[in-house]
Amino acid sequence: MAKICISAFVSGHVQGVWFRQSTVDQALSQGLTGWARNVSDGRVQVMLCGESNAVRQVEAWLQLGPELANVVDVVSETVELDESYNDFVIRPDLTL
């Protein structure tokens, strides 16, 4: 199976609603690696790496997010495959 990585920025009411932890749960359930972190402008940034169908499933879930979230937009792009990730984790916040 082909492996890919995508970088996504999720905007809306996505901080303080368990978005990052829910993303961890979704990614791990699909066998993906990568990370999620809050961005200082209110978005959540996500890196998803793994089997392409699994990545696309979690990418689609990002449009919904967890129950308390209100996702307005998801902007994602395919990036160079990075197989250095061993797990899916929450990273420290990114300050812009």
Q: Which residues are catalytic?
A: 20, 38
**Residues pairing with 6 in the sheet:** 48, 78
**Residues pairing with 50 in the sheet:** 4
Cα separation of 46 and 62, whole Å? 9
